[in-house]
Amino acid sequence: MSDAHAGDVNRRDFLYLATGAAGVVAVGGIAWPLVSQLAPNAREVAGGAPIEIDISAIEAGQVITVTWRGSKYFVYHLTEEEKAAAEKQEQSHFRDFVAADSRISGPEGGEAVWSIYAANCTHLGCIPTEVKGGGDTWNCPCHGSKFDVTGRVTKGPAPVNLPQPPMVFASAEKLIIGTDKVGA
Amino acid sequence: MSGHSTYHPTSGFGKFMDDRLPIARLVHDSFVSFPVPRNLNNFYTFGGILMVMLVSQIITGVVIAMHFTPDASMAFDSVHLLRRDVEYGHTLQSWHAVGASMFFIAVYIHIFRSLYYGSYKAPREILWILGVVIYLLMMATAFMGYVLPWGQMSYWGAQVITNFFSAIPLVGDTVREFLLGGYAVGNATLNRFFSLHYLLPFMITGVVILHVWTLHVTGQTNPTGVEVKSKQDVIPFTPYATIKDAFAMVVFMIIMCYFVFYMPDYLGHADNYIPANSNVTPAHIVPEWYFLPFYAVLRAIDFNIGIPFTDIVLIDSKLGGVLAMFGAIAVLFFVPWLDTSDVRSANYRPMYKIFFWIFAINAVFLGYLGSRPAEGIWIPLMKASTLWYFFHFIVIMPLLGWFEKPLPRPASITDAVLAKNGGASIAQIEGTAAEPQAKG
Amino acid sequence: MTAKKERKMKMVFTKFAAKISAVVIASTLAIASSSVGARAAEDGGTPHYPLKKPLEQKWSFSGPFGHFDKAQLQRGLKVYTDNCSSCHSLNLLSYRNLSALGYNEQQIKNYAAEKEVTDGPNEDGEMFDRPAKSTDRFVGPFANDEEAKASNNGALPPDMSLLAKARAPERGFPTFIFDIFTMYTENGPDYIYTLLTGYQDAPDSVVVQDGLHYNPYFVSGNALAMSPPLIDDEFEYDDGTPGTIDQQAKDISAFLAWAADPKLDQRKERGFIVILFLLIFAGLLYFTKKKIWSDVAH
């Protein structure tokens, strides 16, 4: 085979490769918008801005449910007894142990008696119901998972604790869910 | 033409599948080894372009349907929410809307190509008829799609077009109420049009499969109109037709993108940016451009047809207009038999060639007339133009077969190619030697 | 049929065809060249509006590389807020969209808070008013169309969100063909600008209905219910631009063009990239095709 012929073949191969590559780019360029449009739209995103909650009216022992980005969150005002019981509880009692105080917080200079966590079970997303009177506080109606007063899982099938949203106490009365920075 | 299959599975899995579900064989026979005439010009790429347009419309349609709310009070807003707030929503919505227009541009070129090269003649009558069925389904789909954004033109377009059916004697009003799901265009209409707009493209896909099937039975025509006679006349679909179609498709896409990104509203109508209002009819109501010729035919009939010298009306102007309009489409079904000439290609039919171009110009002019108000000079022009439309099919086409003296045709496709290329050697025809600069 | 007879028939036939096509083409040209003539012929028929075509202006957002001028849009927002918003709504826009004009979150929050929206019901089952938030849609001047009509002598001030797209006087033949190549899509803003600056005294021959204002540029009549809305030097813009009627009209038109097509900048940028890529792709395909077909005469 002469050199000239070999050069010709190389040039042809390059052309085919370049065309094929451009074809791949084209397919990618078509797929990109088709996938991107699945993302939450701008209105949804704007609607997902942090929410402010007035916590001054929530009595000790009371829990309220709030909605942020379409999902529910429990805002639990612990009583002294509940807090003490949660801190005393054995490590072996939990499936995904963390110290109770990592799940209890409060406004600067105020009492740390607030526990705030997602209301959807970490198994498959049902909302646990509150069980009054001793033992575990939350009982998931779907598959029987149980959580304590700070949202820590004590019984499966839920594998992990109820997650805590980003949040911050703006003042003694105002809780912000959705961000951990005041004024953001 | 389809001949016996040349597919030979090489892998074990290929053989396993070939004995059970020979889909690879089907693809191979239809889009790889399928023989196509070697002399096809670029007008023959529009079939492929149309397939891509159909898929593109279905994909973008499915995607934007995810953001659409088929409710009279929310439809308009949901379309604009899509355009404003959804990632790539503006592009996708424009792509779908402009895509409808581009689909029709392609289909019109495809139809006129068939008319020019006589692609409807035996043995391709069914191929042609299936094509007209696809065209009809496309019109229905496009119309119902245009109603969905629920703007002023959507609403009044639905009002006018569903009124076609009220022209049917005796049962017309009932038929219209059944179409609308109410006594007037309203929420029920929007809901069912959305449902049907989603359904029809899949019916089109079904007929397209039949259309392609018949094509693969009869084989393609070609600019000479002479049937394929030998192996020399044809080349395998892949890579030759594939690469040619791909190039044409990308050029077509460039034109489409120009509209999608730079002039997304050019092919639409400004009034559709006003939300539907049942109290106010837009001053100048016109359908989408691709329906304009038929709209002109509809409006050309502004007179009752009755028994002369009596007051007896057989067909009133409303029914007459609707009949003429549907007739303008229906006449296409009979084209294979209206054309009595046994020569296919207009290249060898000197008179038909002239009449073809007159017809084409008249069709475009009819479209322009469709966009004009029905008043003054436009009315007689609409009538004349409409008359010529039917005259072409019903009188000229059959008569030409007798009067016209066709030019001598080449004995075969290969002969035609040889004659065209002059110096081309038979070696090139047989594909044994290759000079890169021989012919582009 | 003898050959002679056949030839004769053929001649007659061809002549006939040629005649008809000549008539069609000639009449097409005649009509095309004088839409004015056609209009004159329609005396007593439906008159056609606008009486005068919009005057074409220079816009920063025209052409393939066009983009909105944020300073102009901010001025336009001021015109809207101070002037138009007392009658016209802007339903499709949310306050958060103003970030595209270069405002920060706090500015948007303050702007929105000037308006009140009805929210609720609260725990007591009552609706209550609260300041608008950036996620709210623009609050319109009227509760509903009927109230709008009642406050405006029966005329409904149209919503302005899509006005720059919804008002497009016909371009006519053959201009509409040239428009494809000049990429002319600014019909709407041109119309709004021309309408706002086009109020004038009616000619003696025209009787203007009470409560209407003569304007030959109005798209659906010779007079409209809106009185001339802009006042010369009514205010000075924050950026020091003098608030002439001409300036205000330009700015509000640009603002409405943005309101109707907020993704314009993005779409033109995308278009440039996509078309550039497709041109390269087409070039590659062309040479590949040439290569593949090089061993086949066709």
* CB atoms A36 and B92 under 8 Å: no
Per-residue pLDDT, averaged over A11-24, amounts to 91
Give the residue among B399, B386, B324 at the shortest CA–CA distance from B355.
B399
3-state secondary structure of C236: strand
Whether residue A163 is predicted with pLDDT greater than 60 in this model: the reply is: yes
Nearest Cα residue in chain C from B41: C298
Give the residue among B35, B7, B21, B11 at the shortest CA–CA distance from B237.
B35
Among B115-119, B178-182, C19-23, the least confident range: C19-23
Asked if the structure places residue C262 within a domain, the reply is no
Q: What is the pLDDT of residues B79-128, one digit of tens each?
A: 999 999 999 999 999 999 999 999 999 999 999 999 999 999 999 999 99
Measured distance CA(C91)–CA(C164) in Å, rounded: 14
Measured distance CA(B202)–CA(B179) in Å, rounded: 20
Most confident of A41-45, B327-331, C165-169: B327-331
Q: Which residue has the higher pLDDT, B311 or C37?
A: B311
Measured distance CA(C222)–CA(B146) in Å, rounded: 31
Among A88-97, B290-299, C11-20, the least confident range: C11-20
Residue C10 belongs to domain spanning: 3-33
Q: Report chain A's terminal Cα–Cα distance, integer Å.
A: 71
Nearest Cα residue in chain B from A41: B86
Whether residue A83 is predicted with pLDDT greater than 90 in this model: the reply is: no
pLDDT at B439: 36
Q: Which residue has the higher pLDDT, B154 or C18?
A: B154
* CB atoms A37 and B84 under 8 Å: no
Q: What is the pLDDT of residues A30-61, one digit of tens each?
A: 999 999 999 999 988 888 888 888 888 888 88
Among A91-95, B107-111, B217-221, the least confident range: A91-95
Residues of B in contact with A38 (CB under 8 A): 66
Chains B, C: CB pairs < 8 Å: 169
* CB atoms A47 and C284 under 8 Å: no
Which distant-in-sequence residues (6+ apart) come within 8 Å of A72 by Cβ?
A: A65, A66, A118, A119, A120, A127
3-state secondary structure of B12: helix
- Length reported for chain A: 184
What does DSSP say about strands A63-68 and A138-139: parallel, antiparallel, or unpaired?
unpaired
pLDDT at A113: 87
pLDDT at A134: 64
Whether residue C17 is predicted with pLDDT greater than 80 in this model: the reply is: no
Which distant-in-sequence residues (6+ apart) come within 8 Å of B389 by Cβ?
A: B293, B297, B328, B359, B362, B363, B366
pLDDT at A170: 87
Share of chain B above pLDDT 90, in %: 82
Chain A, 31 to 50: residues with Cβ < 8 Å from chain B are: 32-34, 36-39, 41-44
Measured distance CA(B328)–CA(C292) in Å, rounded: 43
Measured distance CA(C140)–CA(C145) in Å, rounded: 11
* Residue-range domains of chain B with CATH: 26-420 (1.20.810.10)
Give the residue among C157, C179, C170 at the shortest CA–CA distance from C227.
C157
Among A160-169, B52-61, C1-10, C257-266, the least confident range: C1-10
Its pTM stands at: 0.89
Whether residue A147 is predicted with pLDDT greater than 80 in this model: the reply is: yes
Share of chain B above pLDDT 70, in %: 95
Q: What 8-state DSSP symbol labels residue B394?
A: I
Chain A contact for B84 (CB, 8 A cutoff): yes
CB C126 within 8 A of CB C120: yes
Amino acid identity, residue B47? Answer: G
Whether residue C31 is predicted with pLDDT greater than 60 in this model: the reply is: no
Whether residue B241 is predicted with pLDDT greater than 60 in this model: the reply is: yes
Query: Could you identify the residue written with the tokens 């062309």?
Result: C286
Give the residue among B419, B401, B415, B26 at the shortest CA–CA distance from B209.
B26
pLDDT at C20: 54
Q: pLDDT category, B285, cuts 50, 70, 90?
A: confident
Measured distance CA(A180)–CA(A167) in Å, rounded: 5
Among B4-18, B83-97, B201-215, B256-270, the least confident range: B4-18
Q: What is the pLDDT of residues C245-268, one digit of tens each?
A: 999 999 999 999 999 999 999 999
pLDDT at C62: 94
- C201 backbone dihedrals φ, ψ, rounded to 5°: -70, 140
pLDDT at A13: 87
Q: pLDDT category, B431, cuts 50, 70, 90?
A: very low
Measured distance CA(C288)–CA(B372) in Å, rounded: 46
Q: Which two tokens stand for residue B224?
A: 């000479």
pLDDT at C123: 82
Q: What is the pLDDT of residues C134-147, one digit of tens each?
A: 999 999 999 999 99
Q: Is C182 exposed, middle or buried (0-12, 13-18, 19+ CB in 10 A)?
A: exposed
CB A151 within 8 A of CB A141: no
Beta bridge partners of B37: B234
Q: pLDDT category, C29, cuts 50, 70, 90?
A: very low
Query: Could you identify the residue written with the tokens 């939450």?
Result: A40
Torsion angle of the four alpha carbons C226, C231, C235, C241, in this order, in degrees rounded to the nearest 10: 100
CB C259 within 8 A of CB C160: yes
3-state secondary structure of B331: helix
pLDDT at C1: 46
Give the one of C24, C41, C183 whose C-beta lies nearest to B262's C-beta.
Answer: C183
Measured distance CA(A55)–CA(A172) in Å, rounded: 8
Q: Which helix (H) or strand (E) holds C106?
A: helix C105-113
Give the residue among A154, A144, A145, A139 at the shortest CA–CA distance from A86.
A154
pLDDT at B364: 96
Q: Which two tokens stand for residue B120?
A: 């409807």
Measured distance CA(C24)–CA(A136) in Å, rounded: 90
Instruction: Supply the mean pLDDT for chain B.
Output: 91
Q: Report chain B's terminal Cα–Cα distance, integer Å.
A: 27
Q: What is the pLDDT of residues A122-143, one digit of tens each?
A: 999 999 998 876 667 898 999 9
pLDDT at B193: 96
Amino acid identity, residue B124? Answer: R
DSSP string, B215-284: HHHH----TT-PPP-SGGGEEEIIIIIHHHHHHHHHHHHHHHHIIIII-TTTTS-GGGGSB--TT---SS
Query: Could you identify the residue written with the tokens 């001028």?
Result: C69
Instruction: Supply the mean pLDDT for chain C.
Output: 86
Query: Could you identify the residue written with the tokens 């003042």?
Result: A171
Per-residue pLDDT, averaged over B23-48, amounts to 93
The total number of structural domains in chain C stands at 1
Give the one of B81, B84, B89 whose C-beta lies nearest to A37's C-beta.
Answer: B89
Among B157-171, B208-222, C25-39, C75-89, the least confident range: C25-39
Amino acid identity, residue B58? Answer: I
Is the backbone of residue B44 left (phi > 0), alpha (psi -120 to 50) or beta? alpha
Q: pLDDT category, A3, cuts 50, 70, 90?
A: low
Among A98-102, B60-64, B316-320, the least confident range: A98-102
* CB atoms B261 and C260 under 8 Å: no
Q: Which two tokens stand for residue B142?
A: 């496009």
pLDDT at A180: 81
Measured distance CA(C245)–CA(C251) in Å, rounded: 10
Secondary structure (H, E, C), A138-183? EECCCCCCEECCCCCEEECCCCCCCCCCCEEECCCCEEEECCCCCC
Give the one of A8, A32, A41 whose C-beta lies nearest to B86's C-beta.
Answer: A41
Asked if the structure places residue C186 within a domain, the reply is no
pLDDT at B418: 86
* CB atoms B365 and C162 under 8 Å: no
Name which of B84, B289, B412 to mutate to probe chain C: the one with the most chain C Cβ atoms within 10 A of its Cβ: B84
**Chains that contact A by 3+ CB pairs under 8 Å?**
B, C
Nearest Cα residue in chain A from C285: A19
Asked if the structure places residue C28 within a domain, the reply is yes
- ipTM metric: 0.90
* CB atoms A49 and C274 under 8 Å: no
* CB atoms C135 and A43 under 8 Å: yes
**Within 10 Å of residue B169's Cβ, how many Cβ atoms?**
8
pLDDT at A109: 79
Q: Which residue has the higher pLDDT, B142 or C13?
A: B142
Strands, sheet with A146-147, edge to edge from the N-terminal-most edge strand = A129-130, A138-139, A146-147, A153-155
Q: pLDDT category, C68, cuts 50, 70, 90?
A: very high
Q: Which two tokens stand for residue B39?
A: 């002399």
